[in-house]
Amino acid sequence: MRRYYILDTNVISELMKSKPDTNVIDQAEKFEQFSAISSTTWNELLFGVQRMAEGKKKNLLLEDLVDDIQANYPIIQYDNHAAWIHADIRARLAAAGISIDFQDTQIASVAIANNMILVTRNTKHFEPIQKVSPLMMENWFERSAS
């Protein structure tokens, strides 16, 4: 089945909270079969958990990542096509004197390479990328989303 949405790290983090935003839950349930995450997001999630102190909370979060997130959301790889797009975006932003987080441009590049809509709460982080690329975005934290 074709995936249309690529979920940013902050969306997955929200879904893992004990009391997640109801708008995000509603949209995630509605579009789960059409959603995926990027390998960059997967790395950010794993890194966040690995940095935690050893203990029950860390083990539960790691279990949730593997049993819930990895099991339900295909991981779209940062591949050669995305790398070309990523380099182009970074060069255009650099020429305009704009510096953006490397991981954000990488996630956006995976979305563009796969013709997917990036779902994020941090739309301001990605707006400069939209000015130099065909990045499509939605914010599921807002009621007006799809």
Tell whether pTM > 0.85.
yes
Please list the pLDDT of the chain residue by residue as tens digits (146 residues): 577 999 999 999 999 998 999 999 999 999 999 999 999 999 999 999 999 899 998 898 888 888 889 999 999 999 999 999 999 999 999 999 999 999 999 999 999 999 999 999 999 999 999 999 999 999 999 865 44
pLDDT of residue 144: 56
Distance CA 78, CA 142 (A): 28
In the structure encoding, which two tokens stand for residue 60, read together? 């539960």
Backbone angles phi, psi at 73, to 5 degrees: -125, 115
pLDDT of residue 1: 58
| CA angle at 115 for the pair 42 and 96, rounded to the nearest 5° | 85
pLDDT of residue 64: 87
pLDDT of residue 145: 46
Distance CA 78, CA 73 (A): 15
pLDDT of residue 142: 87
Backbone angles phi, psi at 3, to 5 degrees: -95, 135
